[in-house]
């Protein structure tokens, strides 16, 4: 099952529509509310892009001007509310995101796919540095979650739990990979090392590449 191609693909648009289901808001209030609720850890938020997103939502009929406020000499404040079309779009979009796994391209995966140009010893050093950062990040997240559990229902913290789980899973994988490289049990690691030590491509790698391109 594939996700439906949508008129707007910026996740911030979905966050805006979901928030406007509560009440009409000014874009500045939308940004402040999302940040106050910690949604900036899962969605990139800046005022410039937020105003553009709101304009695009209005263009496609998903939000509309609900009220224009005037207070003395202050600039007008335009409050936006969600339309019926916006409610339907937000519900369908969110349903797709929850139900259908999407192929994403995290930059760490890109780095792993290209790390062969570095010496194994250098990769070990760099991944040890990454592992230390991940462990600090996980410890900080666990401490933060423990405090948040004291005041907030878990339903409002599930994305933070997921983030922590992903950090811990990545740390576990890096830890295991490092062990394989250091102990020499990773298939191909000796050829990888030989390539960097001698500058010559091992025959095993040449054969694999030839077979790959012949398929």
| Residue range 48-93, pLDDT digits in tens | 889 999 999 999 999 999 999 877 677 788 999 999 999 999 999 9
Give the span between the Cα atoms of 50 and 59, in whole angstroms: 14
The SS3 assignment for 15 reads helix
The SS3 assignment for 155 reads helix
Beta strands in the chain (DSSP E): 63-69, 77-82
Is the sign of the CA dihedral 42, 45, 49, 50 positive or negative? positive
Kindly state the DSSP code that residue 101 receives in the 8-state scheme.
P
The mean per-residue pLDDT over the stretch 92-116 comes to: 93
pLDDT at residue 2 greater than cutoff 60: no
Query: What confidence score (pLDDT) does residue 73 get?
Result: 73
pTM here? 0.81
Query: What confidence score (pLDDT) does residue 102 get?
Result: 84
Q: Tell me if 86 sits within 8 A of 61, measured CB to CB.
A: yes
* Higher pLDDT, residue 69 or 155: 155
Q: Output phi, psi for 63, to 5 deg.
A: -135, 165
Spell out the domain ranges in the chain.
11-99, 107-205
The SS3 assignment for 25 reads strand
Assess if CATH 1.10.10.10 describes domain 11-99.
yes
Task: Please report which residue ranges of 21-102 form alpha helices under DSSP H.
Answer: 27-36, 47-59, 84-99
Q: 131 to each of 74, 134, 161, 169, 179, how far by Cα in Å?
A: 51, 5, 19, 11, 12
C-alpha closest to that of 28 among 74, 79, 72:
79
pLDDT at residue 211 greater than cutoff 80: no
C-alpha closest to that of 26 among 73, 65, 52, 74:
65
Is the sign of the CA dihedral 179, 181, 182, 187 positive or negative? positive
pLDDT at residue 213 greater than cutoff 90: no
């Amino acid at each position: 099952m594939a996700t439906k191609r949508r008129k707007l693909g910026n996740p911030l648009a979905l966050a805006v529509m979901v928030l406007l289901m509560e009440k009409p808001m000014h874009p500045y209030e939308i940004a402040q509310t999302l940040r106050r609720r910690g949604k900036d850890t899962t969605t990139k938020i800046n005022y410039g892009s937020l105003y553009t997103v709101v304009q695009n939502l209005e263009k496609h009929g998903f939000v509309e001007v609900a009220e224009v406020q005037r207070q003395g000499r202050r600039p007008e404040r335009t409050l936006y509310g969600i339309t019926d079309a916006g409610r339907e779009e937000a519900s369908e979009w969110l349903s797709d995101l929850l139900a259908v796994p999407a192929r994403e391209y995290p930059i760490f995966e890109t780095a792993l796919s290209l790390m062969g140009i570095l010496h194994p010893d250098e990769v070990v050093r760099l991944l040890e540095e990454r592992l230390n950062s991940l462990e600090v990040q996980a410890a900080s997240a666990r401490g933060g979650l423990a405090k948040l559990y004291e005041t907030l229902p878990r339903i409002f913290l599930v994305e933070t739990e997921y983030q922590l789980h992903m950090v811990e899973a990545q740390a576990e994988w890096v830890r295991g990979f490092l062990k394989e490289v250091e102990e020499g049990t990773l298939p191909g690691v000796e050829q990888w090392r030989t390539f960097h030590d001698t500058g010559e491509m091992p025959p095993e790698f040449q054969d694999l590449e030839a077979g790959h391109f012949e398929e």
